[in-house]
Structure 1
Amino acid sequence: MYLSPEKKEEIFAKHGKGKNDTGSAEGQIALFTYRIDHLTKHLKENHKDFNTERSLVKLVGKRRSLLNYLMKKDIMRYRAIVKELGLRK
């Protein structure tokens, strides 16, 4: 399995408020980014896997929604997470 519980805790500890804080927008955005990177690598090898492609598009949309929410709520937190993860609009 590509996403072990230890890896999840590491992501939330690094980007969230703590390893058990799974509800923060920053933690969720970081987790979505990790999953998007994994699915992108998978699709480069398996370009006809349309179910994975659909999942990838849905994840990108969820991450975009969270980023929009964070931008409206607190622009400084938005800028920090975008810079930290290397995202662009």
Structure 2
Amino acid sequence: MPYLTKEKKATIFTNFGGKAENTGSIEAQIALVTERITSISKHLQANKHDHSSQRGLMQLVGQRKRLLSYLQKHNLTGYRALIEKLGLRK
């Protein structure tokens, strides 16, 4: 069973991108990566020695960091609203 179904992705894109077809929205991309990070984190809590998943998690965290940095530079109010909505920091 996939961890992200089409319906779940559509929900994420609707909530953060405005509509389900708006998959290129930076906010929607960040929300999708965040969902993948939480899913892999839960997996790693049960499987502590899964090093390939740990590496994938670190790559996703770096990708989210780069996307958030881009959003912060180009839309500070949107950045603040997104980290508040996702509960990321501060």
Shorter-chain TM-score tier: over 0.9
> Post-superposition shift, 1:83?
0.2
Query: Structure 2 CA distance, aligned partners of 1:68 and 1:57?
Result: 16
> Post-superposition shift, 1:17?
2.1
User: 1:27 aligns to what?
Assistant: 28
- The amino acid of 1:18's aligned partner reads K
SS in 1 for 2:48: coil
Listed as ranges, the gaps of 5+ residues in structure 1 are: none
Q: TM-score, normalised by structure 2?
A: 0.96
Counterparts of 1:1-12 in structure 2, within 5 Å, are 1-12=2-13
> Post-superposition shift, 1:88?
1.3
Counterparts of 1:1-89 in structure 2, within 5 Å, are 1-88=2-89
Aligned residues: 89
The root-mean-square deviation of aligned C-alpha atoms, in Å, is 0.9
> Post-superposition shift, 1:2?
1.2
- The amino acid of 1:41's aligned partner reads K
Query: Structure 1 CA distance, aligned partners of 2:66 and 2:77?
Result: 17
Listed as ranges, the gaps of 5+ residues in structure 2 are: none
Query: Structure 2 CA distance, aligned partners of 1:70 and 1:58?
Result: 18
- The amino acid of 1:62's aligned partner reads Q
